[in-house]
Amino acid sequence: MDYVLDNAQMREADEYTINGLGVPSLVLMERAGEALAKRAEESAPTGAILCVCGGGNNGGDGFVCARLLKACGREVTVVCFAERKSDDCAENHRKFLAVGGEVVAVFPKKAFALVVDCLLGTGFKGAPSEAYAAAIKEINGYKARGARVLSADIPSGVHGDGRVQKTAVCADETLCIGEYKTGVFFGDGIDFAGKVLRADIGIRLPREKEKYATLVSREEIAALLPKRKRNTHKGCYGRAAIVAGSVEYTGAAYLATAACLRSGAGYTALFVPKGLLTHYMLKAPEALLVASNEGDRYEFNARKMQELTAYDSVAYGMGMGASIAVAEGALWLLGNYTGTLILDADALNSFAFFGREKLAKAFAQKKCDVVLTPHIKEFARLSEESVGTISEKGFDAPEAFAKTHGVTVLLKNAVSVVTDGERTALNTAGTAGQAKGGSGDVLAGVIAGLCAQGLSGFDGARAGAYLVGKAAEIAAKEQGEYSLLATDTIERLGKAFLSLYE
């Protein structure tokens, strides 16, 4: 299992390994430098290598890396202008000089095949000083002239907990030492980090004291999916209902329904206003069509809502338009429905009509397993916190909300956070091509289909996020991110499922 740690958790893990397990810090630094050197060799099999070292332990890793590369016969130069160094960094600086290593304070005006960024580690906070900002600019300049950039642990300038200043190293690869760091997955950190890898150097976690976020993995999702027996029928795989659509947003209902059909549910029913039914006839022939009410937008009708109680999962809100009626429907489901309820888009936006106190009461009295699927602006309205505050808190904000209200939150972003307040998973599958209308509707439909088959809200959310992201990656490889549509993702869901077992 791959863990994702913030700064405080990583410091605690270091302390536990060094003081609790008795592993010397210099041994850990040697292992970290060895892992960096190995990756540097793989990234640049030939050519000169520049290691840029700060005065902290991140810089110490760089000095070890440079020494080991030099021992392999590579041409290595180290830039270090730090006047003060940590004890371990100073020791490895001395060892590098002892083998004839070259350390300069000014960036050489020559070409390098690879720059190893060991300037600032995860403990960096605030804005870099003028000297460090200039160094970061130099590193990015080498990249612009053709060098590859490998960052140790985290790109310099990116905060370990996820905040990014305007000045940061733009790496091709980041090798996280010990465990993955929060900062490489949140905000702009994911773009600065490039390809993210991990080196296990023997740091161990005091798990009895702490809960850790994990990365969603292919193997984990494959194990979650219910096995389909040959002697079986559609009644074995659950009933999913999609309640969606309005005259302004007819596409959302179709996308959610088509995605649900592809996710394996035995029955999929689309509930839309009667005035829209003709839009969907024969477009998704495998789905049942049900009129949720008269007219061409949603109107709350308790009798019609009662029909939803026969379904194992309900996805509600996609393209319905924000209104009091939509909010009333969501509240009715919270109080009367006993399956798995996925509240998306306008279901979340419509809660604003009732206020936080009424919403908190509805969550407290709910009878169903609830999944909320907001993007960051929807979550800001829901939690009454600013987008900036949520971004700074990383996964703390969705974790707190989920725990307070007893729900699962899937906070959609470049890396999505799935949490029930006790468990937190980060989904990195996906592509920038999903930044288009309809992607959220596809996700809601897939989660509904998975939950109808028996997955819990938390498991359905992380499996759905992974599978939709993987399908989008497959589609993007075939036609690029610019042209990727939500319908393309739906068409590749089958390949995403197959990829679980490759």
| Residue 232 falls inside a structural domain | no
Q: Are residues 312 and 430 in the same domain?
A: yes
Name the domain count of the chain.
2
**pLDDT number for residue 91:** 97
Q: Are residues 446 and 488 in the same domain?
A: yes
**pLDDT number for residue 119:** 97
Half-sphere exposure of 435 (CA within 13 A, CB side): 8
Q: What does the pLDDT look like over 96-123, one tens digit per residue? A: 999 999 999 999 999 999 999 999 988 8
Q: Are residues 200 and 260 in the same domain?
A: no
The span from the CA of 125 to the CA of 62, in Å, is 20
Q: Are residues 390 and 449 in the same domain?
A: yes
Residue 199 φ/ψ, nearest 5 degrees: -115, 120
pLDDT at 156 over 80: yes
CATH of the domain at 24: 3.40.50.10260
pLDDT at 256 over 80: yes
| Residue 233 falls inside a structural domain | no
Residue 47, phi-psi category: left (phi > 0), alpha (psi -120 to 50), beta (remainder): left
**Mean pLDDT along residues 236-255:** 97
Q: Are residues 265 and 379 in the same domain?
A: yes
Q: Are residues 298 and 203 in the same domain?
A: no
Q: Are residues 449 and 382 in the same domain?
A: yes
Q: What is the DSSP string of 267-292?
A: EEEEEE-GGGHHHHTTTSTTSEEEE-
**pLDDT number for residue 135:** 97
pLDDT band at 166 (very low <50, low <70, confident <90, very high): confident
SS3 134: helix
**Mean pLDDT along residues 9-14:** 92
Torsion angle of the four alpha carbons 220, 221, 224, 228, in this order, in degrees rounded to the nearest 10? -130
The span from the CA of 235 to the CA of 199, in Å, is 46
CATH of the domain at 435: 3.40.1190.20
Q: Are residues 191 and 328 in the same domain?
A: no
pLDDT at 210 over 80: no
Q: Are residues 335 and 484 in the same domain?
A: yes
Q: Are residues 421 and 323 in the same domain?
A: yes
pLDDT at 219 over 80: yes
**pLDDT number for residue 211:** 82
**pLDDT number for residue 163:** 66
| Residue 73 falls inside a structural domain | yes
Average pLDDT, the chain: 95
Cβ contact 427:466 at 8 Å: yes
Q: What does the pLDDT look like over 301-320, one tens digit per residue? A: 999 999 999 999 999 999 99
**pLDDT number for residue 260:** 98
User: pLDDT exceeding 90 applies to what percent of the chain?
Assistant: 89
- Give ∠ CA 211-216-217 in degrees, rounded to 5: 125
pLDDT band at 164 (very low <50, low <70, confident <90, very high): low
Torsion angle of the four alpha carbons 204, 209, 212, 218, in this order, in degrees rounded to the nearest 10? 60
| Residue 318 falls inside a structural domain | yes
**Mean pLDDT along residues 188-209:** 89
Q: Are residues 31 and 118 in the same domain?
A: yes
Q: Are residues 451 and 323 in the same domain?
A: yes
| Residue 443 falls inside a structural domain | yes
pLDDT at 209 over 60: no
pLDDT band at 208 (very low <50, low <70, confident <90, very high): low
Q: Which residues make Cβ contacts (< 8 Å) with residue 342, sequence separation at least 6? A: 313, 314, 315, 316, 371, 373, 444, 447, 448, 451, 457
Q: What does the pLDDT look like over 327-370, one tens digit per residue? A: 999 999 999 999 999 999 999 999 999 888 999 999 999 999 99
| Residue 172 falls inside a structural domain | yes
**Mean pLDDT along residues 413-439:** 96
| Residue 323 falls inside a structural domain | yes
Q: How many helices (H) and strands (E) does the chain have?
A: 20, 19
Cβ contact 293:325 at 8 Å: no
**pLDDT number for residue 356:** 86
Q: Which domain holds residue 28?
A: 3-212
| Residue 149 falls inside a structural domain | yes
